[in-house]
Amino acid sequence: MSTKLMSGKKGFVFGVANDHSLAWSIAQELHNHGAQLAFNHLPNPKMERRVRQLAEPIGSKVIVPCDVQDDEQVRSAFHQARETLGELDFVVHSIAYANRDALYNPFYRTSRADFLQAMDISAYSLVSLCQHGLAHMAEGASVLTLTYMGSVKMVPGYNVMGVCKAALESSMRYLSAELGREKKIRVNALSAGPVRTLSSAGIDGFAKILEHYPTKAPLARNVTHEEVGRSGLYLLSDLSTGVSGEVHYVDAGYNIIGW
Ligand code: NAD
């Protein structure tokens, strides 16, 4: 009997920027377990090149431009994936952005424009992917988003992104209830502990967060890219068919500590 969890499954992974991206950690697990994958890239030649370098060697036939601020690009990305792969069994949303000012200045000084942009790209985009992806997803498909504990606790330097993650997690619950009734689609969030990536490099004091976790976490260490990837695989595979609307922490247990 095959031990491959994703044989015959097809899905769209949004949010690979380079080989440190958490989306790439998840994509590698999905690929190793037999899934066929579509990828997006930000619509510029540099990002296209970077994503192609990773996606083509694993046989991806769909590598398309998609800035999630543009609904037309989201619609078109799903259409292209559907044409080549057929109905999708899963969608990974691993996207976040906030202007540098909004991350480095005190939260109370966040401008309206920076707040709305961060919310649009980091939270509303999940709604947009579900809205435009629904018709292209199979019954029982699984949608996964990436979040961080700064949604429910004040983490110094996380600022507007914490507020975006709170909106993202709440959106995930509403989507889970609606898409579950509509098409038995599961929607979950994976809350990763701190991991070095392009985005995390933009968080003021990220190095301190990385140093702090092992001092408090039950496992006395940080998590790895591979651990985030494997937990993503679990939430996207049939191992988790009874799980929806959940925020699943992969943080060496840090979130349970109260002192
Ligand atoms: P990353 O920089 O590799 O990924 C972020 C992705 O968002 C990039 O691929 C980028 O191109 C994409 N993106 C930004 N603006 C976009 C737009 N307008 N349209 C389409 N795509 C856009 O960094 P990452 O750490 O892998 O981040 C992935 C997710 O994981 C984010 O939601 C992040 O908040 C979350 N997360 C990261 C950590 C961590 O410590 N790295 C911890 C918990 C959660």
- Read off the tokens for 228: 């985030």
Query: What's the CA gap between 185 and 187, in Å, rounded?
Result: 7
pTM across the whole model: 0.98
Give me the pLDDT at residue 113, please: 98
Measured from the CB, is residue 21 less than 6 Å from ligand 1?
yes
Give me the pLDDT at residue 204, please: 84
- In the predicted model, is pLDDT for residue 57 greater than 80? yes
- Single out the residue of 158, 142, 163, 155 nearest to residue 248, CA to CA: 142
Amino acid at 65: P
Point out the catalytic residue in the list 97, 148, 249, 254. 148
Measured from the CB, is residue 22 less than 6 Å from ligand 1?
yes
pLDDT band at 259 (very low <50, low <70, confident <90, very high): confident
Backbone φ, ψ for residue 127 (5° rounding): -65, -45
Percent of the chain with pLDDT over 70: 99
pLDDT band at 207 (very low <50, low <70, confident <90, very high): very high
Clarify whether 158 is annotated catalytic. yes
Q: What is the CA radius of gyration of the chain?
A: 17
Residue pLDDT, tens place only, 142-192:
999 999 999 999 999 999 999 999 999 999 999 999 999 999 999 999 999
For residue 2, the CA-to-ligand 1 centroid distance in Å is: 33
Query: What's the CA gap between 131 and 78, in Å, rounded?
Result: 11
Give me the pLDDT at residue 2, please: 61
- Single out the residue of 228, 235, 122 nearest to residue 185, CA to CA: 235
Clarify whether 234 is annotated catalytic. no
Q: Write down the CATH number for the domain with range 10-251.
A: 3.40.50.720
